[in-house]
Amino acid sequence: MSFTGLRSVVLCLGLLALPALAADKSVAPYLAAAPQKPTLLQMLASALKPKSAHAAPSEHRPRIRHATAAVRKQPKAPSAPAVTEAPVAEPTTVGAAVAPPAQLSEAELAAKGLELFNDASLSGGGKASCATCHFSTGHTNNKTYVGLDVVADGDPNGRNTPTLWGVGERAVFGWAGQAPTLEDSIRGIIVNRMKGPEPSPETLAALVAYVRTLNYPANWQVKGDGTPREDASAAVRRGYELYIGDGGCGTCHQLPSFDKKSKDDIGTGGKFKVPTLHAAASTAPYFHDGRTASLRDAVKLMWEFYAKKMETRLPTEAELDDLTAYVGAL
């Protein structure tokens, strides 16, 4: 081939390569630098290769990863140990009930207390209940005891059964004044005298609620503050004046409760709590050991003790009658 013919072939090949070179320049910003330049034949072959109308070669497309793909390819965080839930505890059964009963009203609690007041199981061996000595009404059965044994009135070891009427108004409890609260007094009687088991707080609460309902009977001759009513008998009115005057009774049996918190020694064998005189007419025998059978004898003993201590006069028989009439009306 002549030189002129060869030059024509090269020129034609160069013209065919121009579209490929233009294409290479249009995508150049997206391509990584090649280690070496392609040859002319490589560029011509690339230009003559069929191209897809829908997609550019993968090496020419921006590398954009889908968000879900990015998430899938992230390294997995170490999983937390499985937490085992603790089993729900079953309610504890107390007696016959799964849950404690709803709080009782005061009336319901007192009604429960009345049942317990008559319950002999509170004592050792089921020998006695509270009502054995106080009846269901809470009043005294007029007997003297050592423990649960009835002894003769006046026995130095005996303790006369007091009334529980008006017990909620008193300051301290027990002949020795050893119980500062009603709960302490009832517990002491159950455990020490009745030899029963330790009572539960619920038992004590019910018994206290009941005995607090035990009030004194209505009194037609004496007002609530201890003074005689206008229509009281003349003897009661005279007796009241002696009570707060020469008889000295009001020194220890203070109005309106007619008792006192402290203990006194009146020559009967030691210091004992001053008992209330409310309902005294129906609480014979008298004093801690039941040594005096009649109310008049008890009034006489106390006036004589006071007169000796205070160096005052002794009463006349008429004065004893009037003072006894007032105390008996309380």
DSSP code per residue over 277-289: -TTGGGS-SBTTT
Q: How many structural domains comprise the chain? A: 2
Query: What is the pLDDT at residue 218?
Result: 85
Per-residue pLDDT tens digits for 4-44: 444 444 334 443 443 333 334 433 333 344 445 555 556 54
Q: What is the mean pLDDT of residues 199-211?
A: 97
Average pLDDT over residues 87-111: 59
What are the backbone dihedrals phi and psi of residue 311, each rounded to the nearest 5 degrees, phi first?
55, 50
Domain that holds residue 314: 216-330
Q: What rounded mean pLDDT belongs to the chain? A: 78
> In the listed set 215, 231, 251, which residue is the last one of a domain according to the structure?
215
Query: What average pLDDT does the segment 127-156 reach?
Result: 95
| pLDDT above 90 for 182 | yes
Q: Directed axis angle between helix 317-329 and helix 234-244, to 10°? A: 100
Q: Note whether 196 and 228 are same-domain residues.
A: no
How far is the C-alpha of 281 from the C-alpha of 286, rounded, in Å?
A: 10
Query: 253 with 236, same domain?
Result: yes
Choose the final residue of a domain: 148, 183, 215. Answer: 215
Average pLDDT over residues 257-261: 88
- Answer yes or no: do 166 and 110 share one domain: yes
**Amino acid 170: pLDDT:** 86
Share of the chain above pLDDT 90, in %: 62
pLDDT at residue number 92: 38
- pLDDT tier at 286, thresholds 50, 70, 90: very high
Q: Is 299 contained in some domain?
A: yes
Q: In this structure, are 269 and 176 located in the same domain?
A: no
What are the pLDDT digits (tens) for 40-76? 556 545 555 554 444 444 444 443 333 333 334 444 4
Across the range 229-257, mean pLDDT stands at 95
Domain's final residue, options 165, 181, 215: 215
Confidence of residue 169 (pLDDT cuts 50, 70, 90): confident
Q: 276 Cβ partners below 8 Å, 6+ apart?
A: 166, 170, 253, 257, 258, 259
The average pLDDT across 147-159 equals 95
Report if residue 263 sits inside a domain: yes
Q: 171 with 261: CB under 8 angstroms?
A: yes
pLDDT in tens, 62-72: 433 333 333 34
**Please, which residues bridge with residue 94 across strands?**
97
User: Does 99 score more than 70 pLDDT?
Assistant: no
> Within a domain: residue 192?
yes
Flag whether 8 is in a domain: no
Give yes or no for residue 104 having a pLDDT over 70: yes
CA-wise closest residue to 321 among 238, 230, 248, 244: 238
State the pLDDT at residue 39. Answer: 58
Q: Please indicate, yes or no, whether residues 189 and 258 belong to a single structural domain of this protein.
A: no
Mean pLDDT for 162-181 is 91
Does the pLDDT at position 271 exceed 70?
yes
Give the closest residue to 303 by CA, choosing from 328, 323, 276. Answer: 323
Model pLDDT, residue 61? 42
Which range scores top for mean pLDDT: 59-68, 254-263, 296-305? 296-305
The predicted pLDDT at position 57 comes to 41
Q: Provide the CATH number for the domain around residue 228.
A: 1.10.760.10
The answer to whether residues 322 and 220 belong to one domain is yes
Residue 27 lies in a domain: no
Lowest mean pLDDT among 171-180, 199-208, 286-295: 171-180
Q: Assess whether 208 and 257 both reside in one domain.
A: no
Are 110 and 195 contained in the same domain?
A: yes
Residue 40: predicted pLDDT: 53
